[in-house]
């Protein structure tokens, strides 16, 4: 039996999905020594062994074409005090914002980020108007010095208060 695709209103889709709170990352890559960065929150962990992550990149972006060529990307998870970088790398250039990259495994990463990953593209899946770039993690670092920048319902947010209870370490064998 064939079912008709449900018509989803674009604004309602954006609003509903906006209720899923995320962190914010800056995705970076480089071609011939020239660095390109863009803000992305469509980022998630995919697999522990091997260590794989996923980013979803709009086909209209400059990053989309660059990733297809470079075959690698950096993920810099933004701290709460880095909102200006999120705006800047989303196409709203910020004046007097120092943009500094640190290089690991020949990949640029944004300085001061909470966590940094270097990923080699292992798969690229077309998905509607985006492409899902799956990357194998080849380098990582993190710091607990700052709180994360959050994105909810189209606005930047901060964590309220301190977490209670012990740290939860996710164990995939429970799944």
Q: Site residues (CB under 6 A) for ligand FAD? A: 24, 35-42, 56-58, 61-63, 86, 88-91, 93, 99, 151
In this complex, which beta carbon is closest to ligand FAD, that of residue 2 or of residue 32? Answer: 32
In whole angstroms, the minimum distance from the beta carbon of 66 to ligand FAD comes to 7
User: Residues 67, 53: contact at Cβ < 8 Å?
Assistant: no
User: Residues 109, 139: contact at Cβ < 8 Å?
Assistant: no
Helix (H, G, I), strand (E, B) or coil at 80: helix
In whole angstroms, the minimum distance from the beta carbon of 5 to ligand FAD comes to 23
* CA gap 27, 24 in Å, rounded: 10
Largest CA distance in the chain: 59
In whole angstroms, the minimum distance from the beta carbon of 167 to ligand FAD comes to 26
In whole angstroms, the minimum distance from the beta carbon of 12 to ligand FAD comes to 19
In this complex, which beta carbon is closest to ligand FAD, that of residue 73 or of residue 151? Answer: 151
| Token pair listed for 146 | 């700052």
Name the nearest CA neighbour of 66 among 92, 117, 104, 32.
32
């Amino acid at each position: 039996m064939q079912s008709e695709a449900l018509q989803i209103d674009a604004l309602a889709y954006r609003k509903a999905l906006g209720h899923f709170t995320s962190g914010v990352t800056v995705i970076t890559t480089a071609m011939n020594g020239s660095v390109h960065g863009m803000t992305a929150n469509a980022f998630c962990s995919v697999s522990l062994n091997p260590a794989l992550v996923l980013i979803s990149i709009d086909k209209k972006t400059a990053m989309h074409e660059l990733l297809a060529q470079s075959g690698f990307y950096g993920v810099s998870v933004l701290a709460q005090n880095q909102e200006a970088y999120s705006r800047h790398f989303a196409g709203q250039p910020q004046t007097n914002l120092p943009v500094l990259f640190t290089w690991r495994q020949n990949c640029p990463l944004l300085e001061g980020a909470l966590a940094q990953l270097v990923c080699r593209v292992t798969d690229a899946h077309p998905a509607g108007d985006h492409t899902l770039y799956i990357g194998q993690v080849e380098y990582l670092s993190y710091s607990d010095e700052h709180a994360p920048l959050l994105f909810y319902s189209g606005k930047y947010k901060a964590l309220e208060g301190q977490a209670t209870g012990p740290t939860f370490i996710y164990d995939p064998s429970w799944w």
